[in-house]
Amino acid sequence: MAHQKPLPLILLSIIPLFFILTQAQSPTAPAPAPAGPIDIFAILKKEGQYNTFIKFLNESQVGNQINNQVNNSNQGMTVLAPSDNAFNNLPSGTLNQLNDQQKVQLILNHVIPKFYTFDDLQTVSNPVRTQATGPKGEPFGLNFTGNNNQVNVSSGSVVTNIYNAIRKDPPLAVYQLDKVLVPSEFTDPKAPSSDDAPAPAKAKNGTSGDKTTADEPSPASSTKPNDAKRISGGILGLICGVFLMGTLS
Ligand SMILES: *[C@@H]1O[C@H](CO)[C@@H](O)[C@H](O)[C@H]1NC(C)=O
Ligand SMILES: *[C@@H]1O[C@H](CO)[C@@H](O)[C@H](O)[C@H]1NC(C)=O
Ligand SMILES: *[C@@H]1O[C@H](CO)[C@@H](O)[C@H](O)[C@H]1NC(C)=O
Ligand SMILES: *[C@@H]1O[C@H](CO)[C@@H](O)[C@H](O)[C@H]1NC(C)=O
Ligand SMILES: *[C@@H]1O[C@H](CO)[C@@H](O)[C@H](O)[C@H]1NC(C)=O
């Protein structure tokens, strides 16, 4: 009789202990390290207005390249991210003129293999190399001009203001763009770069600017007028439209 009472007592004390131990084992497993690798997709997704750029980063594999490169380079990186509005504001039909290779170069023209703070951008020496290259491997450059805490960036055919840092911690800086930086190289691909006077491609009756305008009605668009730029107007429009159609399909 005296033996019967202690047994349940022992059980009663063991069972909760057992319960606690088993319970403790599963949830205690440490969660994946919170500070994971930098993910350009996650950074842009969180902002909610970069769906087109995300799509192109994904399709072109450039997004993965950025994620790998930012991890492995000691220079860091800077990404200029055109908003959905920037893509929407491209004249329709323009991007259709780009082959797949050029689409990749267009995206790469927004990727700089070095980390730049906003202050850096105001004083950086131009041109700044992007990761885009021409057919001969020549790098495409961007010009940055800074003044009074303002920074403009120019691809030659497109100029826009940089005012919003989406991410500013090394090794990756990400800035918002309200325009797509279409390389001026796309507008005049056949002319040798050394050629001083590229013949305006048979401009019809001086109406070359009638269909599309390269410069959006933003005050940031004023570029030096010259022949190449005027030609670029129409082509730029075409280039951009192709891109847009791609995103819509
Ligand atoms: C990239 O595209 C693939 C295939 O369409 C899709 O499954 C994936 O979710 C996309 N990734 C991102 C980050 O958008
Ligand atoms: C980052 O780089 C380290 C070594 O350089 C490598 O071990 C790790 O797998 C890389 N992570 C990613 C996500 O690429
Ligand atoms: C950058 O500026 C230089 C000198 O003014 C000019 O020759 C070059 O075409 C510009 N490049 C771009 C991409 O704007
Ligand atoms: C302009 O184009 C019209 C028809 O497209 C043509 O008849 C006319 O001769 C052209 N003018 C010049 C100056 O090329
Ligand atoms: C940027 O561009 C705008 C419009 O062209 C101009 O008014 C402004 O002075 C420029 N700022 C810089 C820093 O170049």
Condensed to tens digits (0 to 9), the pLDDT of residues 62-114 reads 999 999 999 898 999 999 999 999 999 998 777 888 889 999 999 999 999 99
8 A C-beta contact, residue 130 and residue 109: yes
Take atom 14 of ligand 3 and give the residue whose Cα is closest.
Answer: 156
Overall domain count for the chain: 1
Q: Which atom of ligand 5 is nearest to the CA of 148?
A: 13
Helices (DSSP H) in 130-171: which residue ranges?
Answer: none
State residue 53's pLDDT score.
97
pTM assigned to the model: 0.66
Token couple for 71:
């991890």
Take atom 6 of ligand 1 and give the residue whose Cα is closest.
Answer: 58
Residue 118, ligand 1, Cβ within 6 A? no
Residue 61, ligand 1, Cβ within 6 A? no
Mean pLDDT of 242-247: 53
Q: Which atom of ligand 1 is nearest to the CA of 58?
A: 1
State residue 196's pLDDT score.
40
Question: How far apart are the CA of 220 and the centre of ligand 5, in A?
Answer: 6
Inform me whether the pLDDT recorded for 233 exceeds 90: no
In a domain, 131, yes or no: yes
In a domain, 157, yes or no: yes
In a domain, 27, yes or no: no
Mean pLDDT of 131-142: 93
Residue 72, ligand 2, Cβ within 6 A? yes
Residue 71, ligand 2, Cβ within 6 A? yes
Spatial CA neighbour of 213 closest among 190, 229, 224: 229
CATH of the domain at 152: 2.30.180.10
In a domain, 175, yes or no: yes
At 10-23, the pLDDT tens digits run 555 544 444 444 44
Q: Which atom of ligand 2 is nearest to the CA of 37?
A: 13
Q: Which domain holds residue 158?
A: 40-181
Phi-psi region at 128: left, alpha or beta (left = phi > 0; alpha = psi -120 to 50): beta
Average pLDDT, the chain: 76
State residue 205's pLDDT score.
55
Q: 């403009």: which residue's tokens?
A: 152
Q: 């048979």: which residue's tokens?
A: 202
d(CA 179, CA 130): 16
- Reported confidence tier of residue 7, pLDDT bands at 50, 70, 90: low
